[in-house]
Amino acid sequence: MHSITLRKTCLYCCSFLLLGSVFFLPKIALSDEILIVKTPAVESPSMPKVMFNHDKHVNFVESHDGDCSRCHAMTSAGLSTTVLNVKLQKKSNQIPYLHMECTRCHAQAGAGPSLAECRTCHVVGARLEAKK
């Protein structure tokens, strides 16, 4: 009898923890949402992929005009999921296009890295922690 009660208690605890984690985990992930930029796809990259802190940018936009079209172009299917019109660019021009659009906005905003600060965006390993 005693053993059954103990087992039940354990089961309740585990269920509670499981449910709790399902409920809380997405929130934890979203609080520091780092997106890996995959457009354009680069076959043999010279640099690490860009780790993009989306929430930082959302906070900036919300504190100004709330205009998501600063970064996302309006298409027939709604707002683009990629940066502005990067997909409409020739493949050879997609990286220069992203460099230009990102750093131009940073210069206007007086925040964020300039084109000379390569590794602020192209980050790996330990630097990613610092970036958060």
Residue 17 in contact with other proteins, rule: CB under 8 A: no
CB 61, CB 70: distance < 8 Å: yes
Q: Pick from 3, 5, 46, 76: which binds other proteins (CB under 8 A)?
A: 46
Letter for the amino acid at 9? T
DSSP 20: H
- Nearer Cβ to other proteins, position 13 or 100? 100
Q: Pick from 10, 42, 100, 132: which binds other proteins (CB under 8 A)?
A: 100
Residue 45: closest CA among 95, 113, 109: 95
Could you tell me how many residues of this chain bind other proteins (CB under 8 A)? 21
Residue 110 in contact with other proteins, rule: CB under 8 A: yes
Residue 93: closest CA among 49, 39, 51: 39
96 burial via Cβ count (<10 Å: 0-12, 13-18, 19+)? exposed
Residue 42 in contact with other proteins, rule: CB under 8 A: no
Q: Which residues bind other proteins (CB under 8 A)?
A: 46-47, 96, 99-100, 103, 106-107, 110, 113-120, 125-127, 130
